[in-house]
Structure 1
Amino acid sequence: MARNTFSQRMRSARTDLASRSRLGMSRVRAGFFQSIQITVAAVGAYFLAEVLLRHHQPLFAATAAIVSLGYVSGGNHMRRILEVAIGCTLGIAVGDSLMYFLGRGPLQAFAVLLVSLLLARFLDNGTIFSTQMGLQAVLVVLLPPAIDGPFARSLDAVVGGLCALVIMALVPQDPRRQPKDQMIQLTREFSRVLREASEAIGNYDATLAWHALARARKTQPTLDSIESSLKTSKSLAKVALTRRQALDDVRAYERALQGFDYSIRNARVLVRRIANVITTVHLRDEAIRSLRDVLLELSEAVDVLGLSLKAESTDARDAMLRRARIDLSSVAAKLDPQLLGVRTYQGEALVMIIRPLTVDLLVMTGMDQRAAGNVLATIRQELTEAIDIVDPEEPQDTDS
């Protein structure tokens, strides 16, 4: 028994180690280009300060470059670089200034740190800005005085910050890469949601429907992450001199993300409704087959949208979007309960949820909202039966 327990623990440890190794390697691949940027900026700043300014061991130049670039994902990347660069430079400048006038010692260190933090809060409410300003000021106080003069470290920090900004502008990472990869992953998950929903209605299995709903709900963190990545990508594309052409692609990703957001929200409602219908009623076999096929076709169209994101050229992307538009238009043209063989209110409700979902996907292919709505099949009769209202005061006809 003890041997079996030990073997299970060893297998679990190996599995955990393999998982952590894969995760670590994925982080290395994702941050490889940024690691090169940081290295080039830090080494370049050090040697520029040493050669041009003739400073001895200008460590603060390299430090400022490293902390300015850093490993950032999400938020406004350029704002973050500016905050760190300015905070780092100001912290060193404040420390140099106060030490020049106050001298060295524990009380002076207390005064330098307090003044630096208060000044940082006065200038900006950013946490990064305040932290860097206070940290660099403390380092100035604690380290031995610079042999190059009282404000040599401040100049080194300026050089480091400028090197970081130049590297970002001239040798930027591709701002499209991260949101593109994330959106491809999102299309893959969304397609699985629709495919699982198709299997759920086809097999009339409520458990499969609830699994599809759980998968659909798990896409929300990815949606939020892509939104954050797009903010970063837009700021990078605007400042990068060699990546200006990527700005249009980033804006196209923003429009696509909005479509995905609307579509996935509708898909969640749809899948939950499917689970309830399966649990409460049994649709006609024709309706089940039709709804299964419609959802499967939507899943395949989402796969084509994912291929359009992978396309390396504009022509290839446009070709994939046209194909997705044709496939979705074919689905939209038959979204009439009567055409699908749906006769019950529960089935009609499913069709009415699929209709706006299909419109959202059509908009993602480049159609405008009105044109996409016009592609939908015209519902040929009222979904609810008309009931005559009887006035209780009006005399009723009676059979003679």
Structure 2
Amino acid sequence: MEQQPASGSSWTRTVTKARQWWARTWSFATRRSRSGASRVTSALVPAAVTALCAVLAYVFAELVLGHEDPLFAATAALIALGFNRDPKVRKVLEVAIGCTLGILIGDLMQAVLGQGYWQAVLVVYTSILVARFIDSGATFTLQMSLQSVLVVLLPAAEGGPFTRSQDAIVGGFIALLVTLLMPKNLRKEAATGLRDLYVTLTGALRDCSEALRSHESRTAWMGLVACRGTQTAVENLRKDVKNARELATFSPTKRHARPELDETAHTVEMSDLAVRSMRVVARRVISVIDNGALDDEGTGLLADWFDEAADAVGILGRSLGEPAAAGRHKSLSVARGALGGAAARLDPAELGATTLHAEALVMLLRPMMVDLIEATGSSHDEAVGYLPRL
């Protein structure tokens, strides 16, 4: 009778552990299924483009050039196009050249040295050295060595020693052509990145407001840390804009987007300056709070200003995410007005900044607001014109 509770307790623990294990397993499987479904959904169009590109390269080399089993045309197209959601012109061109050069080196050395194992070692060795001489990228080296070793190990092509080199050129050219002509919104990635960046900036302004109201500098530290973490996002924005401008330059169907991308590039630079200024502002807010440099009236006035600025910056972030140019420009004019209204109040006397620390805080806000107004498309002189004279 005394052992029954122990047995029951052991059974209960076993059942509890089994349920916990099943819950963890089910949660893991659910997360993996959702992430997998998300990847499949985002891959529908790229998968179709990649498949069509590979088969098109094969068909062209077989029917137009008359090559028998032109597998290198399909493989070169697949490797050059890769499996990116939005293939980059420079990347596609780089990989295509790497594939072609690797096959060409294999063809040349096979014609001179013949086919065999030691020839394969020499071909791969030479391909790696040539690739490292031409480009520092690991992908370029991999493609050259991979294609060259396949050339010397597979049976010789019936169409001649350089048939496979021609197939690689066909595959790379078709991959590049598809990349240039594939319809896409060149500004989409940058718009998403800018919207996320301004969400962070808006949050930092809210943190500064809350820090002033609660006299708690740690809240401002949270905003400072968030702004410090945006540098990678800004660098990614620059890369996105650079890739989009590159595609707009070379694609005959997307050159009309170049002026819009130039505006976006300017917005990214001004946004970067604004975020950098926000870091300095957050540090100054921390100093003002820790040193008690504001009285109750000044604290309330500056906290209200940070809330107003956060509202204006939120409008700017949503405006930059507008997909259509007409709607975006209209929204940016609203954001410009809101930002200009906040900038017009940046007078230390009006905001109750009567000490040196408080005055310094207000003065640091002025260049930040100029950068934000310029991010809406205004000129520097127009942006400075919103500031009150001191």
Partner residue, 1:363: 374
Deviation at 1:345, TM superposition (A): 2.1
- In the alignment, structure 1 segments of 5+ residues that lack a partner are 380-400
Distance 1:307 1:346, change over 3 A: same
Partner residue, 1:302: 313
Code of the residue aligned with 1:262 in structure 2: it is: L
Partner residue, 2:67: 55
- In the alignment, structure 2 segments of 5+ residues that lack a partner are 1-12
Code of the residue aligned with 2:197 in structure 1: it is: L
Name the count of aligned residue pairs.
Answer: 378
Code of the residue aligned with 2:295 in structure 1: it is: R
1:238 aligns with 2:218: no
Which of 91, 94, 118 matches 2:105? 94
TM-score (norm 1): 0.86
Contact 1:73 1:232 in 2 (8 A): no
Contact 1:286 1:342 in 2 (8 A): no
Partner residue, 1:382: none
Distance 1:225 1:338, change over 3 A: same
Distance 1:174 1:376, change over 3 A: same
Deviation at 1:40, TM superposition (A): 1.8
Code of the residue aligned with 1:41 in structure 2: it is: C
Equivalent residues in 2 for 1:345-360, closer than 5 Å: 345-360=356-371
1:145 aligns with 2:153: no
Code of the residue aligned with 2:193 in structure 1: it is: Q
Partner residue, 1:159: 170
Contact 1:172 1:236 in 2 (8 A): no
TM-score (norm 2): 0.88
Moved more, 116-125 or 148-157: 116-125
Contact 1:359 1:373 in 2 (8 A): yes
Deviation at 1:92, TM superposition (A): 1.0
Identity value in percent: 39
Name the CA distance, whole Å, in 2 between partners of 1:18 and 1:280. Answer: 51
Distance 1:32 1:357, change over 3 A: farther
Which of 212, 216, 221 matches 2:227? 216
Distance 1:4 1:222, change over 3 A: farther
Contact 1:33 1:173 in 2 (8 A): no
Contact 1:210 1:275 in 2 (8 A): yes
Contact 1:179 1:226 in 2 (8 A): yes
1:285 aligns with 2:324: no
1:42 aligns with 2:38: no
Name the CA distance, whole Å, in 1 between partners of 2:17 and 2:217. Answer: 37
CA-to-aligned-CA distance 1:285-336 (integer Å, 9 cap, x gap): 2211111111111111112112222324333222211111111111111111
Distance 1:260 1:95, change over 3 A: same
Which of 177, 195, 207 matches 2:218? 207
Name the CA distance, whole Å, in 2 between partners of 1:309 and 1:285. Answer: 36
Name the CA distance, whole Å, in 1 between partners of 2:170 and 2:157. Answer: 16
Code of the residue aligned with 2:349 in structure 1: it is: Q
Name the CA distance, whole Å, in 1 between partners of 2:233 and 2:181. Answer: 30
Name the CA distance, whole Å, in 1 between partners of 2:217 and 2:130. Answer: 60
| Secondary structure at 1:227 match in 2 | helix
Name the CA distance, whole Å, in 1 between partners of 2:267 and 2:20. Answer: 46
Equivalent residues in 2 for 1:16-35, closer than 5 Å: 23-35=35-47
Deviation at 1:351, TM superposition (A): 0.9
Deviation at 1:338, TM superposition (A): 1.0
Tell me which protein shows more helix as a share of its residues: 2
Deviation at 1:153, TM superposition (A): 1.5
Contact 1:174 1:243 in 2 (8 A): no
Equivalent residues in 2 for 1:162-177, closer than 5 Å: 162-177=173-188
